[in-house]
């Protein structure tokens, strides 16, 4: 009976141990699966985000629960700006902080990102004269909260002496140094929001087909675009905005012959053409009159020299402004590494790492829907 009792206990122990191992494996597998789901969701978000805002990202498990968080930012040369922090919960990407919002827990500004493993918190350095470092952690309710700050403050009213502070209390230089000795931060650098980096640091996501592209038939060679948004998709950048094209009156050799003969059809009308050569500029211009009795010309066709392949003859109105046809809201694509001829700049630098294009008409040279050259004034 004693032998049986011992054997029974041994079997029972092995059964419990096996159950524990299975439960542990299932928990680990669940956490791994959830982490993979989070990375896939983040990759999809970054694939469709506006790269003029979020052109870089960091993946970091802040609270060490096995599911990473996503930090998005804007990187311009040496400047780095943290924009948003996201987590993955209940099968969705959820926002923890957005520096563009008034009630954001993190204030907008230049932020270098480090992580304190022993405190399970972010430490953000603002790069200012205060040498301020703010600490943020995810609480039990799943919200991002500020848990402290350390930096320098003016010690006197005349602002001549600065001393260190920890959470609003004055500390010594030794205490300041000891804090960072005890809490060694791991510095995290931003990854560019590119197809290659999303594959490497998150996961591979099936490419979305870019639809409703302008100029698929290849009729227009030049588009001027007032860009509203830029989105990185795989190795391309999708440019969306309001478009216009310069009216090209003389596209064919037949139209050229008509022009030289003194007649041309443009803007839905037939025009009488009078040619004039300027000896000072050595430029021949063509003036369009509504009919033979008209004393004033309505439009002028004149050659122009530009860095892009604009029409040989540009149509001007009486105010000496180019005549355009509007094409409404359009989208075109440009390869990330495509360089323009004038500024020797890649498309990624021009449209994702810079916002020089904002509020301007950007000249785009097209090969069907593909941008092959551009000029931003």
Kindly state the tokens that stand for 199. Answer: 């594959």
List for the chain the helix, strand, coil content (%; round to 5).
Answer: 20, 40, 40
Kindly state the tokens that stand for 154. Answer: 């003016």
Q: Across the beta sheet with 263-266, what order do the strands follow?
A: 263-266, 269-278, 283-289, 299-303, 313-316
Rounded to an integer, what distance in angstroms lies between the CA atom of residue 361 and that of residue 86? Answer: 34
Partners of residue 365 on adjacent β-strands: 222, 373
The pLDDT assigned to 23 comes to 45
Rounded to an integer, what distance in angstroms lies between the CA atom of residue 156 and that of residue 170? Answer: 12
What is the maximal distance between C-alpha atoms in the chain?
A: 127
Identify whether the C-beta of residue 346 lies closer than 8 Å to the C-beta of residue 338: yes
Alpha helix segments (H runs only) across the chain = 2-48, 173-182, 195-201, 253-261, 347-351
The pLDDT assigned to 102 comes to 85
Identify whether the C-beta of residue 206 lies closer than 8 Å to the C-beta of residue 47: no
The pLDDT assigned to 354 comes to 82
- Domains in the chain: boundaries: 48-201, 222-246+324-375, 253-316
Identify whether the C-beta of residue 63 lies closer than 8 Å to the C-beta of residue 40: no
Least confident of 10-24, 61-75, 338-352: 10-24
Rounded to an integer, what distance in angstroms lies between the CA atom of residue 84 and that of residue 107? Answer: 11
* Average pLDDT for 259-264: 94
Identify whether the C-beta of residue 240 lies closer than 8 Å to the C-beta of residue 226: no
344, pLDDT greater than 90 = no
Kindly state the tokens that stand for 217. Answer: 């038939």
The DSSP symbol for 262 reads T
209, pLDDT greater than 90 = no
Q: How confident is the model at residue 145 (pLDDT cuts 50, 70, 90)?
A: very high
Q: How confident is the model at residue 196 (pLDDT cuts 50, 70, 90)?
A: confident
26, pLDDT greater than 50 = no
4, pLDDT greater than 70 = no
Least confident of 260-264, 287-291, 294-298, 350-354: 350-354
Rounded to an integer, what distance in angstroms lies between the CA atom of residue 162 and that of residue 339? Answer: 48
* Average pLDDT for 270-281: 94
Q: How confident is the model at residue 25 (pLDDT cuts 50, 70, 90)?
A: very low
* Average pLDDT for 280-291: 94
Mean pLDDT of the chain: 87
Rounded to an integer, what distance in angstroms lies between the CA atom of residue 229 and that of residue 250? Answer: 33
The pLDDT assigned to 206 comes to 79
Rounded to an integer, what distance in angstroms lies between the CA atom of residue 106 and that of residue 144? Answer: 9
Kindly state the tokens that stand for 121. Answer: 């918190």
Per-residue pLDDT tens over the stretch 74-123? 887 778 889 999 999 999 999 999 998 888 999 877 678 999 999 999 99
Q: How confident is the model at residue 3 (pLDDT cuts 50, 70, 90)?
A: very low
* Average pLDDT for 1-18: 54
Q: How far is CA 69 from CA 26, 81, 85, 117, 229, in A?
A: 22, 17, 7, 15, 25
Kindly state the tokens that stand for 109. Answer: 């500004």
The pLDDT assigned to 2 comes to 45
| Selected residue with higher pLDDT from 335 and 52 | 335
Rounded to an integer, what distance in angstroms lies between the CA atom of residue 68 and that of residue 71? Answer: 10
Distance of CA 168 to the CA centre of its chain: 37
Neighbours of 273 (CB within 10 A): 19
Rounded to an integer, what distance in angstroms lies between the CA atom of residue 282 and that of residue 320? Answer: 19
Per residue, the 3-state secondary structure of 149-165, as one string, reads: EEEEEECCCCCCCEEEE
Kindly state the tokens that stand for 2. Answer: 């004693």
255, pLDDT greater than 90 = yes
Angle at CA of residue 239, ends 237 and 241, nearest 5°: 170
Partners of residue 163 on adjacent β-strands: 153
Kindly state the tokens that stand for 134. Answer: 């703010």
27, pLDDT greater than 60 = no
22, pLDDT greater than 50 = no
Closest residue by Cα to residue 267 from 293, 249, 289? 249
The pLDDT assigned to 9 comes to 54
Q: How confident is the model at residue 336 (pLDDT cuts 50, 70, 90)?
A: confident
- Residue 294: which residues within 8 A CB-CB, separation 6 or more? 272
């Amino acid at each position: 009976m004693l032998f049986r009792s011992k054997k029974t206990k041994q079997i029972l122990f092995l059964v419990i141990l096996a159950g524990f191992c299975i439960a542990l494996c299932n928990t680990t597998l669940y956490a791994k699966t959830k982490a993979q789901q989070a990375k896939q969701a983040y990759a999809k978000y970054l694939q469709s985000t506006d790269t003029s805002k979020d052109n870089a990202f960091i993946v970091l498990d802040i609270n060490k629960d096995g599911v990473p968080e996503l930090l998005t930012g804007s990187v311009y040369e040496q400047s780095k700006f943290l924009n948003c922090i996201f987590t993955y919960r209940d099968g969705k990407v959820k926002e923890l902080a957005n520096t563009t919002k008034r009630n954001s827990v993190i204030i907008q500004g230049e932020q270098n990102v480090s992580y304190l493993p022993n405190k399970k918190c972010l430490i953000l350095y603002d790069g200012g004269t205060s040498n301020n470092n703010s600490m943020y952690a995810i609480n039990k309710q799943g919200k991002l909260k500020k848990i402290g700050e350390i930096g320098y403050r003016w010690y006197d009213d005349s602002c001549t002496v600065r001393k260190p502070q920890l959470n609003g209390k004055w500390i010594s230089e030794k205490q300041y140094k000891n804090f960072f000795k005890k809490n060694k931060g791991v510095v995290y650098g931003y990854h560019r929001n590119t197809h290659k980096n999303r594959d490497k640091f998150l996961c591979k996501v099936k490419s979305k087909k870019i639809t409703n592209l302008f100029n698929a038939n290849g009729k227009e060679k030049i588009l001027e675009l007032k860009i509203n948004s830029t989105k990185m998709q795989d190795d391309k950048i999708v440019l969306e905005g309001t478009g216009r094209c310069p009216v090209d009156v003389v596209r064919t050799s037949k139209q050229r012959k008509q022009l030289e003969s003194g007649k041309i059809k443009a803007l839905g009308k037939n025009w009488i053409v009078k040619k004039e050569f300027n000896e000072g500029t050595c430029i021949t211009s063509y003036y369009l009159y509504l009919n033979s009795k008209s004393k004033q010309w309505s439009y002028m066709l004149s050659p122009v020299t530009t860095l892009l392949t604009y029409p040989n003859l540009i149509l001007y109105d009486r105010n000496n402004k180019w005549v355009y046809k509007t094409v409404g809201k359009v989208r075109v694509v440009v390869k990330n590494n495509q360089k323009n001829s004038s500024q020797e700049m890649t498309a990624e630098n021009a449209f994702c790492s810079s916002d020089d294009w904002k509020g301007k008409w950007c000249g785009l040279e097209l090969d069907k829907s593909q941008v092959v050259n551009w000029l931003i004034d």
